[in-house]
A and B are shown apart, each in its own frame.
Chain A
Amino acid sequence: MLAQFLQFLFSGVTIGATYALAALGFSIIYNASGVINFAQGEFIMLGGMSAVFLIGAGIPLPLAILLAVAIAGLAGLLVEKLAIEPAKNAEVVTLIIITIGASLFIRGLVQVFLGKGTHALPPFSGDTPIALLGATILPQSLWVIGVTVVVVIALGWFFGRTLLGKAMLATSHNKLAANLVGINTRMILLLSFGLAAALGAIGGIIVAPITYTSYDAGVLLGLKGFVAAVLGGLGSGVGAIVGGLVLGIAEAMTAGYISSAYKDAMPFVLILLVLFFLPRGLFGAKLTERV
C-alpha cells in the first residue's frame, strides 16, 4: 500500500519538477513585462533537441549541455530583440500573440533542420532503478529533482542578493518607478527572456533521458507549465514550484487511484478550482486596486 503510494508520488514529483521549471520561465518573463510567453515550451524543446544533436556530433555530455543551454538562451534573446522589442509600444495581448508566432517559428525551424523524429538523451548516471521502500525511482529522476532544487536556490540568491536580480524585481513591481530610479527596463526585459529560455532549456535537457524529445515536445510541456504557473500564482517563484509539483502529483495520483482516463482532465479541474476560489493563484500577489 505504502509502496504503491510512494511509486505514484515519485512519478508525480518527477513530472512535477519539470512542470515547475517550465512554470518558472513563465513567471520570470511575466514579471518583467506582464507578457505570458507562449514560446516557453519551445525553449524547453530547443534545449533537449540541441543537446541530442550536439552529442550526436561527438561533443561530450557536460559540454553539450552547456552549449545547448547557451543556444536556447541565445534564442530567447533573439526572440526578444527581433520580435518583442520592435513592438514594444504594443499592448500586452499583441505581445502574447507575437510569442505564439515565435513559438510556431522555432518549432518549424527545428522540424525542418533537425527532423521529425523522436530522440533520447543518454541518462546522466546509468539506468539502474533505485529501490526505496518497495517503490523504484530512476537515477535520472533524482537529477531532475536535484537540479530543480539547485535552480530554485540559485534564482533565490539572484533575485535576493544581486543588484541585477533586485533590478528585475523592482521592474516587476513598478516599471515606471524602476525606470525613474535609473534601471534600464528595456535591458531587464531582454535579460528576462534570455534567463527564462536558459531555464527552460535546463529543464528540457534533464528530462530528455526520461521523456524523450522531439520537435513538438514543447507544446505540451509549455501548456502544463503555464497551468502550473497560473495555479501557483503568475509571477510568483514559490508559486511556480508548488504549482508544478501539485500538478504533477495530482496527475500521478489520479492515474493511480482513480483512472488513467481522467489524468489529463486533472490540470483543468485544478485550474478551475483555483480560479474560482483563489483567482490570483495559490501564491499570487494580493492586488489592491486604488479607486
Chain B
Amino acid sequence: MRALVIDDSATMRHIVADILQELGFDTCQATNGQEGLDLLESGQRFDLACIDWNMPVMDGLEFVAAVRARRQWPDLTLMMVTTEGERGQVVRALAAGAHEYVIKPFTADALASKLVLLGLLRGQERI
C-alpha cells in the first residue's frame, strides 16, 4: 500500500507518515494540494491520501474536489486529517468526495481504526 501525506506542516507530515509506516504503508509527502495533485498527475500511484484542510497554494478541499473532478483515480481513498472539526466542515468535505475524516489531535490508534473502517488495514495490523 502507498500513501500520500499532504500537509503544509513538516511536523504533521512526519507524525502521519510515521504512523502509516508503522502500519506497513510506503509514504510520500507533499506540502500542499497542488504538489499532491502534481504527484498524482506524474503517474505515481497511491492507495490513500491523507489531506490537511488549511494549506497555502491549494487547500485540502480544493484538492479533493480536483481529484474527484478528474475521475482518473477512482481507487484512491481520500482521508481528511485536519483541525476543521465543525460538523458543517465535515459534511462539506464528505460531499466533495472525501471518504473519511480525522480531526487533529488524533492518536495512532484512532488513525488505524479509520483505516480498518476503510478496508485499507486489517484489524490485527493495528498499532
Same complex: no
